[in-house]
Amino acid sequence: MTDVSTETDQPTPPGLTQRDLDRALAAIAAAIGEDKVATDGEALADFRDPYQFPGSETNLPSGVASPSTVEDVQAIVRLANEHRIPVWPIGRGKNNGYGGAAPQVRGSLMVSFRNMNRVLEINEELGYAIVEPGVSWFDLHDAINAGGHNLAASIVDIGWGGVVSNTLDHGMSYMPYSLDQASHCGFEVVLPSGELLRTGSGAMDSNPAWPLYKRGLGPTSTELFMQSNFGIVTKMGYWLMPKPQIYMPLWLQLWDDSQMPAVVDALRGLMLDGTINMRPQIVNTLCVASMLTARADWYDGSGAMPDSIIDKIAKDLGIGRWMMRFALYGDESVVDHNFAKLKERFESIPTATVTGEKHGPDAWETLPNPGERVQIGVPSMDLYKMAGWSGGDEGGHVDFSPVVPMTSKAVKAAQELFSSMCNDAGFDYIMGMLPINARSAAMVNMIPFNTHDEVQVEAAYAHAKHMVATAGKLGYGEYRAHLSFMDLAADQYGFNDHAQRRFNETIKDTLDPNGIIAPGKSGIWGTRFRRAGFPHQ
Amino acid sequence: MTDVSTETDQPTPPGLTQRDLDRALAAIAAAIGEDKVATDGEALADFRDPYQFPGSETNLPSGVASPSTVEDVQAIVRLANEHRIPVWPIGRGKNNGYGGAAPQVRGSLMVSFRNMNRVLEINEELGYAIVEPGVSWFDLHDAINAGGHNLAASIVDIGWGGVVSNTLDHGMSYMPYSLDQASHCGFEVVLPSGELLRTGSGAMDSNPAWPLYKRGLGPTSTELFMQSNFGIVTKMGYWLMPKPQIYMPLWLQLWDDSQMPAVVDALRGLMLDGTINMRPQIVNTLCVASMLTARADWYDGSGAMPDSIIDKIAKDLGIGRWMMRFALYGDESVVDHNFAKLKERFESIPTATVTGEKHGPDAWETLPNPGERVQIGVPSMDLYKMAGWSGGDEGGHVDFSPVVPMTSKAVKAAQELFSSMCNDAGFDYIMGMLPINARSAAMVNMIPFNTHDEVQVEAAYAHAKHMVATAGKLGYGEYRAHLSFMDLAADQYGFNDHAQRRFNETIKDTLDPNGIIAPGKSGIWGTRFRRAGFPHQ
């Protein structure tokens, strides 16, 4: 461990002196190994929000512990309780657009899982993997390929993220099992007491159904540990799909902006009847353009980009006003039937076209378009470009992601609200819609800014918060919230005088009486922090 | 309310005198209405296990409250706390084979939902219903038909059961959404404090995604209220499927008993790749025979029926040694492709045959075979016959339902164990296997007996308990447990010195400090009951 006494401005957690903190970190280092605890600037550089105005961050960690075993995690949690130091678990250390890999409370100890990145088992016959919390999408893909398994994993756009951390945050991948975010089966959890719990069928010793059946006997606690601070997940079952005979990536382009709600109605019907059985991604012109170009290539005015420029981008880049990336999987004759059916349905909408090509398994790893590789489980970093839209290398974004019903009426109303709010606030309307299932979708609004422009940064955060509060009053809830307005987003869930918050706080205080696990996660604070005046937002 | 002073042998809950009980019931009657509380024998006749030896039951209720509103339920719960009277919620009042509609604790007040049986909403566009906890499968089917909706509900074999109560008990229906028991979306729950909680997106006022998106922001508590005694569910979202173009019920017959594991391997493959996307029912000869005939028609010996007689039944009734009921749903050309594929795959197994016919929506309501109607959501009572196998009108059964991996190896090993245990105990091996998903299945062992033969009843319960304990040591957990051995079944979930039980007890004591909601459900008892020596089993 770096000698913490040489640090002059180390952030300390609320209620702890520098000496308390030193003792806590020393005790943890003594328990799990000096080499697994670091407090130097280089080690901590990864655990801050890269999209904040430089120097403005207050939620800096005091150190990072990198356990390599479940016993290490248990030791960290027990000592964190003893020393009252908050810990903030992080899988692979990203979460960009939602506050980054930073803790909510200044001075927290990061618990980084980069050294717990083993794929513990892959079962080809039953189609599952059991993974540690530091396994990245790349790691999982590599393990499947290394074993020569006839399986594919549903993954996200950017391969460096963590399988467990993304799952725990209700993150959305694209293949069939990802609908309703239902790919996981069974957790192992270190409770705030340090005790080990296995959920579902894992609650029975030697039960082979742990990664096969999501429940056991009695109430199931699995979902209680997602977007949660009730425990730290140390193992997870993840279902893998047998490779289909045919994978057919598809692209829908729509040139008339006003027809987008009609696409939603068609899509709902095709998802409800099972023709489309995966998660499409429906993005507007600026969302695609932000992956390929910079804003300054098109426009240097302030305020939201005029519609005429968006039209020009749509044409010049050949994008259209909306683009939907989606796919079919299955036996060739079924894929052919479904393709003909969906093409006819979508192309009955004025200005919509659908194209795509069929591929057998040999072609998937090397498809030229990374968006087409993603939908069959081949990860890359090629889609990590959006942040540069405003500000290039200094660009950033905050995301606002409410859930809406999958009807043309609901999507039209939501778009009118969100786009007019963006226009009023002077921000481009960059939207990507991800169906959660056939019935509901998250509308991810990305608000881009130059992180080195303090006024723009402040305006972006203020705009995002205004959207959260305005949308909340109308019954739109966020599926995932940015650290900077997690409390505000949770505040919108106000049924019966915030019954859910009171319920969560009751569980929190029971399981974690010192409130040391991820205080503030999803707006849940233990009594100790509430008494100390949190949340501060 | 019937005057309780006229009852001479009314069961009283532990720790309460007859006078305490009278006061509690009077207070509840005063709060919700005299006509909604009953204590007479006729009213209570439905709330006992019909398959116990007459007169042997100890777990008799003291009364039944039949709320008609959520406010009634809240009043009952608040007064039950005040008076320390345990309450046992029951949807439609069945649960046969798992202990019936009886409470676990003698003297409990039944909370019957027969008067809360409204289908509150059916949304055809988005495919869901919101139902009260007393809605039966018949009620839901009738409401869909009355509204002329192009929707079908996944239902169970016997139509008199409750949609909510079956869902809460991890009950298994048959259509595509039923896989993983995933048809529900969003609960309204009366907590033990009397407070109202809505789970998932329902935690936000006016959020239309309550029946559309299973989660909200932060941890999801929905599954915590299933097979649980942490609250009483008063509303539930239930997904409905658009009617497919074609429904094709299918039957597989297998004449060589030893080939059954091969059917499991074929089925897993066809479910994993999506060819079969629903819940088949795989039953042995005696399971089918028990629906159609009585044991005495074939054999009057004691002990398990000899294999030669089973073979004769298989042939005489034209059943085969195993029969699988399953179905395809979808566009005709896809159904045709999938039928040809699965027929070829299954018929590669010696002695297996697959047959079936396609039907359009006009035919479904009047298909002659009730088993074929069930799989497309048309309920009946025609399949309620199995209980008469041993003892005719006096017949009963206890069910033992462990979960096993969907592999030939695992199913073969489990069958060898369970069938030899049945043979050794002198009971017929009556088995129905229900896949939970493509990866795991519940093997429902029905142990039949004559309820009027005290020796046989005792032997059946002893045999079932022996199976639970023996199977538990080998890692087989029950998906659903009989009241009479719920504690034993829960006891098998022993990972980390019963970490799950301790977790459940912690949550129970926090949410329900007086332990009044369904004490003993899934082996979960509040501290008050544990101190009083429960469980007694």
Closest among A260, A195, A471, A321 to B498, alpha carbons compared? A195
- The residue-averaged pLDDT of A327-346 equals 98
- Could you tell me which residues come within 8 angstroms of residue A321 by beta carbon, excluding any fewer than 6 positions away? A254, A255, A256, A257, A260, A284, A285, A310, A311, A314
Spatial separation of the C-alpha atoms in residues A43 and A260, rounded to whole Å: 46
Q: Flag whether pLDDT at A291 surpasses 90.
A: no
Residue A405, min C-alpha distance to chain B (Å): 6
Confidence (pLDDT) at B420? 96
Interface test with A, best of B104, B188, B213, B496 (most A CBs within 10 A): B213
With CA atoms as reference, the chain B residue closest to A503 would be: B197
Confidence (pLDDT) at B536? 76
Residues A3-49: tens digit of each pLDDT: 444 445 799 999 999 999 999 999 999 999 999 999 999 999 999 88
Spatial separation of the C-alpha atoms in residues B448 and B431, rounded to whole Å: 11
Closest among A180, A179, A129, A121 to A152, alpha carbons compared? A129
CA B447 → CA B283, B290, B461, distances in Å?
A: 14, 11, 9
- Looking at every residue in chain A, the average pLDDT score rounds to 95
- Mode of pairing for the β-strands spanning B232-239 and B184-190: antiparallel
Interface test with A, best of B71, B122, B215, B401 (most A CBs within 10 A): B215
Residues B214-229: tens digit of each pLDDT: 999 999 999 999 999 9
Complex ipTM above 0.85? yes
- As given in the structure block, the two tokens for residue B435 are 């896949």
With CA atoms as reference, the chain A residue closest to B192 would be: A503
Inter-chain CB proximity B511 and A511 less than 8 Å: no
Inter-chain CB proximity A218 and B334 less than 8 Å: no
Angle between helix A495-511 and helix B495-511 axes, rounded to 10 deg: 140
> Is A478 in contact with A502 (CB distance < 8 Å)?
no
Spatial separation of the C-alpha atoms in residues B97 and B481, rounded to whole Å: 9
Confidence (pLDDT) at A4? 43
Query: How many residues comprise chain B?
Result: 537
Terminal C-alpha separation, chain A: 33
Residues B291-344: tens digit of each pLDDT: 889 999 999 998 999 999 999 999 999 999 999 999 999 999 999 999 999 999
- The residue-averaged pLDDT of A215-238 equals 98
Phi and psi at residue B171, to the nearest 5°: -65, 155
* CB neighbour burial string for A433-465, b if at least 16 within 10 angstroms, e if fewer: bbbbbbbbbbbbbbbbbbbeeeebbebbbebbb
Q: Flag whether pLDDT at A97 surpasses 90.
A: no
Closest among B160, B107, B166 to B133, alpha carbons compared? B166
B94 confidence band (pLDDT: 50, 70, 90): confident
Inter-chain CB proximity B218 and A440 less than 8 Å: no
Give the whole-number percent of chain B exceeding pLDDT 90. Answer: 90
Omega cis (within 30) before A535: yes
Q: Flag whether pLDDT at B9 surpasses 80.
A: no
With CA atoms as reference, the chain B residue closest to A492 would be: B204
Residue B272, min C-alpha distance to chain A (Å): 7
Residue A440, min C-alpha distance to chain B (Å): 6
- As given in the structure block, the two tokens for residue B238 are 């239930």
Confidence (pLDDT) at B392? 84
Residues A380-401: tens digit of each pLDDT: 998 887 667 888 888 888 999 9
- The residue-averaged pLDDT of B256-280 equals 98
Confidence (pLDDT) at A8? 53
With CA atoms as reference, the chain B residue closest to A403 would be: B209
Residues B24-68: tens digit of each pLDDT: 999 999 999 999 999 999 999 999 888 888 888 889 999 999 999
Spatial separation of the C-alpha atoms in residues B392 and B395, rounded to whole Å: 5
Confidence (pLDDT) at A536? 76
Inter-chain CB proximity B198 and A496 less than 8 Å: yes
Dihedral sign computed on CA atoms, order A348, A349, A355, A361: negative
Q: Flag whether pLDDT at B150 surpasses 60.
A: yes
Residues B415-445: tens digit of each pLDDT: 999 999 999 999 999 999 999 999 999 999 9
Q: Flag whether pLDDT at B79 surpasses 60.
A: yes
- Looking at every residue in chain B, the average pLDDT score rounds to 95
- The residue-averaged pLDDT of A397-425 equals 96
Spatial separation of the C-alpha atoms in residues B532 and B536, rounded to whole Å: 10
Confidence (pLDDT) at A342? 98
CA A4 → CA A1, A24, A31, A63, A473, distances in Å?
A: 8, 11, 17, 9, 47
Inter-chain CB proximity B224 and A225 less than 8 Å: no
Confidence (pLDDT) at A403? 98
Residues A46-92: tens digit of each pLDDT: 998 888 888 888 899 999 999 999 999 999 999 999 999 999 999 98
> Is A285 in contact with A313 (CB distance < 8 Å)?
yes
> Judging by beta carbons within 10 Å of its beta carbon (0-12, 13-18, 19+), is residue B176 exposed, middle or buried?
buried
Residue B334, min C-alpha distance to chain A (Å): 6
Inter-chain CB proximity A225 and B219 less than 8 Å: yes
Residues B450-484: tens digit of each pLDDT: 999 999 999 999 999 999 999 999 999 999 999 99
